[in-house]
């Protein structure tokens, strides 16, 4: 059997495809686009009340949705505060301070791993306008409509130059840039600035929630409940089923999922802006203050970091977070020369934990080098080594970390013992010189 015969036999095993609806645009056929759409394309447009957008490269669907301020998507009043802007995008262009220049973006793709074979079959954008949130979704009824969709997206991005995403710096925008390059015809409208709210959300709420998925943040931070939602891993298969002639109804959930992600992103952006603007701390919980402190520290705003770490400690924090906040505040206090505060904080967290072992180490360094009290430093190290005995270890720390601290403490103790021995011999020699007769009698 020849190779052609084998391929023909394999093709015969595939199920027959359902009838497809012919496209009306002769221009698309002239440019090499597919002359047919999946059977459910027309019904999908009717159910969504979508319209077809046409440009130089063909057509694609467009769906618009308005979310009023009653939903909680009202834009921030005025410009972004300088305090929040320094933490979100230090040194960014002037447009970032104006939320009206922000364009929220979220994609639904044919794969979750990216790569050149992954298509963004739906691109959702949103912007704040007239006291609410306007959402527009572009959809490829057929993969051949990609060029048309990308051209429309580039036009929209040119209108609002600040791109806002949630994990879009590592997935959505790199994927779109790849698709633009592969067209070899359409140039991406590179954003003047790109804000991504995934990392601020992790700093602010991961300790409390564990998961920082948008649906979880909506529920526990914004107080929204999007109800039954489509699992992201299922979305590519839903689109593939539609392309093969399957019913279009499951795609309605994909459109709704994308709308909810954009709405959640806008609401989350408003909340994070308010938290980073450094208003009065009334109404903030300790974990949020701790999160703001971490963001301030990473951006180099040490004064604000110290202030918010102290405020978070005045609130009720979980035990592990309380230790972490005390360790961070002690580091900043030492850097600022406030050794009394640093010593007080280190002494409060001594124990078999990542923070407690660091506190033993820092206190030993202080007493050995700063106050010249080697006996006190040796006493602390012996106490730390006693706590590191296997019978006392139940802190969930890695064996490598425990070995590293044990080795460090043992070296310090050996050095201190040698120093004490040398000091004792020196003292004895001086005593002999001062009173040799008493030495002879002994």
State pLDDT tens for residues 303-355. Answer: 999 999 999 999 889 999 999 999 999 999 999 999 999 999 999 999 989 99
- Smallest Cα–Cα separation from 376: which of 347, 349, 354? 347
Residue 400 has pLDDT above 50, yes or no: yes
The contacts of residue 178 (CB under 8 Å, 6+ apart) are 114, 116
Q: Based on the domain organization, do 311 and 398 belong to the same domain? A: no
pLDDT of residue 376: 92
Quick one: pLDDT band at residue 44, thresholds 50, 70, 90? very high
pLDDT of residue 426: 53
Strands 162-165 and 193-196: parallel
Q: Which residue(s) pair with 193 in the sheet?
A: 162
pLDDT of residue 398: 87
Residue 394 has pLDDT above 50, yes or no: yes
Q: Based on the domain organization, do 285 and 253 belong to the same domain? A: no
Q: Based on the domain organization, do 222 and 286 belong to the same domain? A: no
How remote is the C-alpha of 54 from its chain's centroid?
36
For the segment 3-15, what is each residue's pLDDT rounded down to a tens digit? 555 545 545 445 4
| DSSP category for residue 137 | E
Q: Based on the domain organization, do 236 and 290 belong to the same domain? A: no
Q: Tell me if 437 is assigned to some domain.
A: no
Average pLDDT (196-220) is: 92
Among the candidates 276, 310, 328, a domain finishes at 276
Quick one: pLDDT band at residue 26, thresholds 50, 70, 90? very low
pLDDT of residue 117: 84
Q: Tell me if 438 is assigned to some domain.
A: no
Among the candidates 222, 246, 276, a domain finishes at 276
pLDDT of residue 91: 84
Q: Based on the domain organization, do 32 and 87 belong to the same domain? A: yes
Q: Which residue(s) pair with 63 in the sheet?
A: 137
Q: Based on the domain organization, do 325 and 401 belong to the same domain? A: no
CA 301-303-304 angle, to 5 degrees, is 70
Q: Based on the domain organization, do 322 and 419 belong to the same domain? A: no
Rounded alpha-carbon distances, angstroms, from residue 51 to 22, 25, 167, 388: 17, 15, 29, 69
Element (H, E) at 125: strand 122-129
Q: How many domains does the chain have?
A: 3
Structural domain boundaries, residue 360: 351-431
Q: Based on the domain organization, do 317 and 249 belong to the same domain? A: no
Residue 430 has pLDDT above 80, yes or no: no
Q: Based on the domain organization, do 242 and 183 belong to the same domain? A: yes
- Residue labelled with tokens 């298969």: 237
Element (H, E) at 58: strand 58-67
Residue 395 has pLDDT above 70, yes or no: no
- Smallest Cα–Cα separation from 358: which of 342, 341, 346? 346
Distance spanning both ends of the chain, measured CA to CA: 110
CA 228-232-234 angle, to 5 degrees, is 95
For the segment 76-133, what is each residue's pLDDT rounded down to a tens digit? 788 888 889 999 988 888 889 999 999 999 999 998 777 778 999 999 999 998 878 9
What's the pTM?
A: 0.82
The contacts of residue 375 (CB under 8 Å, 6+ apart) are 420
Q: Based on the domain organization, do 252 and 315 belong to the same domain? A: no
Q: Tell me if 142 is assigned to some domain.
A: yes
Average pLDDT (34-47) is: 86
Q: Tell me if 439 is assigned to some domain.
A: no
The contacts of residue 125 (CB under 8 Å, 6+ apart) are 103, 104, 105, 135, 136, 137, 138, 153, 156, 262
Torsion, CA 336, CA 337, CA 341, CA 343, rounded to 10: 120
Q: What percent of the chain has pLDDT over 90?
A: 65
- CATH no. for residue 191? 3.30.420.10
For the segment 154-171, what is each residue's pLDDT rounded down to a tens digit? 999 999 999 999 999 999
Among the candidates 276, 292, 309, a domain finishes at 276
Specify the higher pLDDT residue, 7 or 64: 64
Q: Tell me if 9 is assigned to some domain.
A: no
pLDDT of residue 225: 87
Q: Based on the domain organization, do 122 and 242 belong to the same domain? A: yes
Quick one: pLDDT band at residue 24, thresholds 50, 70, 90? very low
Residue 51 has pLDDT above 60, yes or no: yes
pLDDT of residue 399: 87
- Residue labelled with tokens 């992790």: 202
271-276 long-range contacts (CB < 8 A, ≥24 apart) are 271/221, 271/222, 272/84, 272/88, 272/197, 272/200, 272/201, 272/204, 273/76, 273/80, 273/81, 273/84, 273/88, 274/76, 275/204, 276/81, 276/83, 276/84, 276/87, 276/88, 276/200
CB atoms within 10 A of CB 91: 8
For the segment 265-310, what is each residue's pLDDT rounded down to a tens digit? 999 999 999 899 875 555 568 899 999 999 999 999 999 999 999 9
For the segment 217-258, what is each residue's pLDDT rounded down to a tens digit? 999 999 888 888 888 899 999 999 999 999 999 999 999 999
CB atoms within 10 A of CB 312: 29
Q: Based on the domain organization, do 248 and 341 belong to the same domain? A: no
- Smallest Cα–Cα separation from 296: which of 94, 88, 91, 98? 88
- Smallest Cα–Cα separation from 150: which of 57, 36, 30, 261? 57
Q: Which residue(s) pair with 65 in the sheet?
A: 135
């Amino acid at each position: 059997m020849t190779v052609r015969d084998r391929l023909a036999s394999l093709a015969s095993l595939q199920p027959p495809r359902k009838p497809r609806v012919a496209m009306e645009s002769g221009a698309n056929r002239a440019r090499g686009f597919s002359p047919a759409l999946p059977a459910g394309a027309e019904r999908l447009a009717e159910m969504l009340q979508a319209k077809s957008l046409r440009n130089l490269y063909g057509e694609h669907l467009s769906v618009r949705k308005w979310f009023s301020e009653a939903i909680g998507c009202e834009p921030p009043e005025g410009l972004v505060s300088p305090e929040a802007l320094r933490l979100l995008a230090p040194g960014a262009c002037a447009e970032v301070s104006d939320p009206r220049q922000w364009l929220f973006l979220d994609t639904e793709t044919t794969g979750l791993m990216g790569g050149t074979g992954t298509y963004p079959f739906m691109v959702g954008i949103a912007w704040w306008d007239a006291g609410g949130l306007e959402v527009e979704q572009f959809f490829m009824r057929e993969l051949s409509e990609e060029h048309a969709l990308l051209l429309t997206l580039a036009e929209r991005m040119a209108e609002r130059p600040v791109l806002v995403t949630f994990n879009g710096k590592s997935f959505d925008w790199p994927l779109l840039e790849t698709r633009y390059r592969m067209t070899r015809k359409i140039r991406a409208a590179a954003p003047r600035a790109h804000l991504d709210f995934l990392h601020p959300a992790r700093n602010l709420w991961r300790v409390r929630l564990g998961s920082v998925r948008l649906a979880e943040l909506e529920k526990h931070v914004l107080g929204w409940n999007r109800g039954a939602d489509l699992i992201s891993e299922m979305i590519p298969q839903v689109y593939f089923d539609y392309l093969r002639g399957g019913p279009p109804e499951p795609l309605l959930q994909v459109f709704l999922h994308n709308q909810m992600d954009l709405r959640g992103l806008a609401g989350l952006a408003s909340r994070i802006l308010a938290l980073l603007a450094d208003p009065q701390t009334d109404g903030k919980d300790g974990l949020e203050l701790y999160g703001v402190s971490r963001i301030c520290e990473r951006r180099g705003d040490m004064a604000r970091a110290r202030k918010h770490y102290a405020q978070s400690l005045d609130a009720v924090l979980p035990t592990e977070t309380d230790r972490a906040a005390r360790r961070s505040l002690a580091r900043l206090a030492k850097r600022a020369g406030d050794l009394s505060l640093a010593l007080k904080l280190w002494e409060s967290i001594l124990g078999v934990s990542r923070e407690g072992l660091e506190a033993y180490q820092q206190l030993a360094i202080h007493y050995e080098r700063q106050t010249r009290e080697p006996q006190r430093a040796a006493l602390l190290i012996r106490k730390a080594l006693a706590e590191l005995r296997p019978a006392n270890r139940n802190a969930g720390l890695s064996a490598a970390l425990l070995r590293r601290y044990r080795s460090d403490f043992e070296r310090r103790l050996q050095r201190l013992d040698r120093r004490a021995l040398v000091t004792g011999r020196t003292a004895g020699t001086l005593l002999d010189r001062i009173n040799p007769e008493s030495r002879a009698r002994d």
